[in-house]
A and B are shown apart, each in its own frame.
Chain A
Amino acid sequence: MTSESLVREALHVWAIYLRASEEAHRRGDRRTGTDHFLLALLEDPSIEVVLNVSLQQARQALDSLDQEALGALGLGSGTGVPELPMRAVPKNPRIRDIAQKHRFRMTPAAKKVLEEASKPNRRRLRVTAQQVLAQILTLEPPDPAAVLLGALGVNTAEVRRRLDAVTPDS
């Protein structure tokens, strides 16, 4: 697949949020942040192509950042502790999927990313993965998504140029 063959499928914002929330749960976080949104987007193969990074690579990079941070305290890597299981996420979630299960709140930065991404759309609850990614690319360290992109060696200017080439209206 090339970046030119991207399919701009509109997703429900709740679906992206639920995927990100499961990533947060897997890592042991209690809030859904921009780094979890980036992992959720990487489930879409077209985003993997645009970033030239796989979901596994991104997860490993986050684990490495954690190991480095724990190592700075002299506490070892913490790699012996297994990750928590992820739950299945419906493609078209309903309100009960959000309301009934135990869900995490979003960090303010993550909430802003979703709001800004869906702003140009007539239907505010539908958004493309590319629109969300474009918002994430505007973030700067120490935001967790920006730190992750830095750790993965992603050239954000180049990715933004590629996204603009494919989605000139966003």
Chain B
Amino acid sequence: MPNRPFRQRHSLVGRGLCQFRLTNQERQSKLTDMDFEDLSAKLSSDDPAIGLRSSLALHRLAERVEANNVASAREKGWSWQQIGDALGVTRQSVHTKYNKESS
């Protein structure tokens, strides 16, 4: 292993290889072997109606998680700037999107 190039040593593609310094070997092999492959198999389901509905359901879930946590952050005194930083957007865009709901 030490003689292999950095990219190969720390690639996420290989079986049992972990993210560099982030995930331990045992856990990464479980994630790679079970969850990711399982999810890929399910995503390649033959019925696009189910796949497309799943995609929309995921969008909805993400939107609800985000909105609930923005409201929670505001209650705990976070500034719009901090929330924007956490979400990777400007404070103006997060304020425009959520100030009506949390005010």
Contacts and interface: CB of A to CB of B under 8 A. Distances in A.
A30 B100 CA distance: 15
Interface residues of A, number: 24
B54 A72 contact: yes
B52 A66 contact: no
B35 to A, nearest CB: 8
Contacts of B58: 70, 73, 75
Contacts, number: 68
B101 A66 contact: no
Counting contact residues on chain B (CB < 8 A from A), the size range is 20 to 34
Interface in B23-82: 38-39, 42-43, 45, 49-54, 56-65, 67-68
Contacts of A141: 49
Given A28-B63, A69-B54, A73-B58, 5 more contacts: A28-B60, A66-B60, A72-B50, A75-B58, A78-B57
Interface of A: 27-30, 65-66, 69-70, 72-75, 78, 81-85, 87, 101-102, 141-142, 147
Interface of B: 38-39, 42-43, 45, 49-54, 56-65, 67-68, 96-97, 100-101
